[in-house]
Structure 1
Amino acid sequence: MKKILLSFEGTGYSEGAFEFARRINEDEPVLLTGVFLPQVDFASTWSYAYGGGSMYIPLMESVDAELVGSNINKFKAACIRYGIEHRVHTDFSSFALPELQRETRFADLMILGGERFYDNLGTESPNEYLRDILHDSECPVVVAPEKFSYPESVVLAYDGSSSSVRAIKNFAYLFPELCKVPVTLVYAASRSGKSIPDEDYIKELAARHFSDLVFYELEADPKEYFPTWLADQDSPILVSGAFGRSGFSQIFSRSFAADVIAEHQFPVFISHR
């Protein structure tokens, strides 16, 4: 049984994030922990410097406790309806992100409803708050759109880095059922003619975990053509490595993963530790 965090920001409730957790529970029962973060004052974050690798965001003085309570009851009722073992954590103190980071240390996976974070913070693309959550999480993260089809295929983004390999392994360990669907390991060269790094090694590893596996070299500009190529796959989930403040990876465009998340079409699995 896995422990999964389902993180809700402020007064938002993500149906998409819960649906992803529910489908995981269908394959294997999980302990689902609902984490209800306090509302944050994003407008004042410009005055707060980074410290210790985390962006500290001040809590709003006034939190809509009634709406948060309603969301907690909604979460509990949904878990009971689908027979999911669950817990609720709301004991966050001075800063939201350091507390959430501690939660992720003791979890196998965290699921976020990406669109709800954008809506609550008034932006249409991955913001610094969401970026910090992805960067500082001590467990893998799935960012789920509100409306999506549960994955029927998997796209493994490989760039030769240890981070991308770790993401592939963590995904295989956490989602054994999805290892049986069609899987594409895609490599995008930073310049034409460059071969797949450690090709024999990555093929040996991936073939041990994924039964229906193909390799694909994306020769076109990844930032321009990858989202179009991804949209042609059958209900994919994208598996990626590091999502740091400096960007997705050395080979993919710095805004590559952010663009995929911001389109709100496909779940994205991120693991960088």
Structure 2
Amino acid sequence: MKKIIAAFDGLNYAENTEAYAVQIARQEKMHLFGIFLDDPTYTSYKIYDLITKEGVNNTKLKKLEAKDKATRTAAAENFESACRKSGLTYAIHHDHNTPILELKHESIYADLLVINAKETLTHYPEKVPTRFIRDLLTDAQCPVLLVQDTYQPINKIILLFDGEPTSVHAIKMFSYLLPHLKELETEVISVKPADTSLHVPDNKLMKEFMKRHYPNASYTIVKGWPEDEIVKRLKKQATGALVVLGAYKRGSVSRWLRESMADTLMKEIKLPLFIAHNK
């Protein structure tokens, strides 16, 4: 039985993460683990909320601590209730140290990680991609499914393929982990330079591979700049499509100079992203 983990901020429970994780776990018969990132230094209140002329208001501090504890408890109970209703085998981990380090460590022993694409684990909102998600994707040790704010049943799979090993790896991992989704409509999208043919990169080998994994897949080959063409096409997709891609292969210096395709897609489109990269 495969192990899927769903990561949550217990102070800001993401019901969309729950919905996607529960549905996938039920469909693929996976064991679902809820990972609650309960760093005690991260709270719903700010330190200046407690300051008075006399110093820290300990009575107010205790009330706010109790409120946070109750909020986190309720979040875990919501997750547990959803799992029971769906008849899943499940477990809950409460991680109390630095959230990003805890989640990276959890990913070593998971087959798939599901998380809200806007997760921050901070008091304040951030632009997408958030620092937490960028850091996670850089070092995650299993494929990551980034989900959007509203759950949409998955009805189409889009495989982004550029001929590089990392894109093939992502397609493989999706095939191995989520075999039931391969039965859905599947489209392979490739973008090539203007002076090249309209054949799929590594045409013969790629199509031999695809016949064994996605025999009914269709192919879309366009010319132009990948970030522009892919974003343009994905924006036209109906809700319910899921995008598969390799990402974050480049070193940190390279990422400063040019964004990962995943960064671009997180900013520009509202579809769930299945991201896997080989190191």
TM range (shorter): 0.7 to 0.9
Identify the residue that residue 225 of structure 2 maps to in structure 1: 221
- CA distances 1:102-155 after superposition (whole Å, capped 9, x unpaired): 211111100001134388541131022211111211110100112142221111
Q: Is the 8 A contact 1:114 1:144 kept in 2?
A: yes
What is residue 30 of structure 2 aligned with on the other side?
Answer: 30
Determine which of 89, 100, 104 is the counterpart of 2:107.
104
* Cα distance in 2 for residues equivalent to 1:67 and 1:137: 28
Where do residues 161-200 of structure 1 align in structure 2 (5 Å cutoff)? 161-193=164-196, 196-200=200-204
Question: Corresponding residue for 1:258?
Answer: 263
Alignment of 1:42-191 (within 5 A): 64-93=68-97, 95-117=98-120, 121-191=124-194
The gaps in structure 1 that reach 5 residues or longer are 42-61
User: Aligned in 2, Cα 1:120/1:260: closer, same or farther, shift over 3 Å?
Assistant: farther
Find the aligned partners of 1:92 and 1:118 in 2 and give their Cα distance.
13
Counterpart residue number, 2:17: 17
Deviation at 1:84, TM superposition (A): 1.6
Q: 1:73 to 1:229 in 2, by over 3 A?
A: same
Which entry has the higher C-alpha Rg, 1 or 2? Answer: 2
Aligned residue type for 1:86: Y
Q: Quick one: which amino acid aligns to residue 206 of structure 2?
A: I
Shift of 1:89: 0.6
Q: Quick one: distance in 2 between partners of 1:162 and 1:108?
A: 20
d(CA) in 2 for partners of 1:156, 1:5: 23
In 2, the alpha carbon distance for the partners of 1:10 and 1:128 equals: 19
Count of aligned residue pairs for this structure pair: 249
How much does 1:31 deviate?
Answer: 1.1
Stretches of structure 2 that go unaligned for 5 or more consecutive residues are 43-63
Residue deviations 1:77-115, cap 9 Å, x none? 11112212111111333x322222221111110000113
Provide the alpha-carbon RMSD of the alignment.
2.6
Alpha-carbon distance between aligned partners in 1 of 2:34 and 2:26, rounded to the nearest angstrom: 18
Counting aligned pairs with the same residue, the percent is 28
Q: Deviations over 1:246-268 (max 9, x none)?
A: 58x99xx7353223223562110
Closer/same/farther in 2, CA of residues 77 and 245 from structure 1, 3 Å limit: farther
TM-score, with length taken from structure 1 = 0.81
Letter in 2 for 1:12: N
Runs of 4+ with deviation above 6 angstroms: none
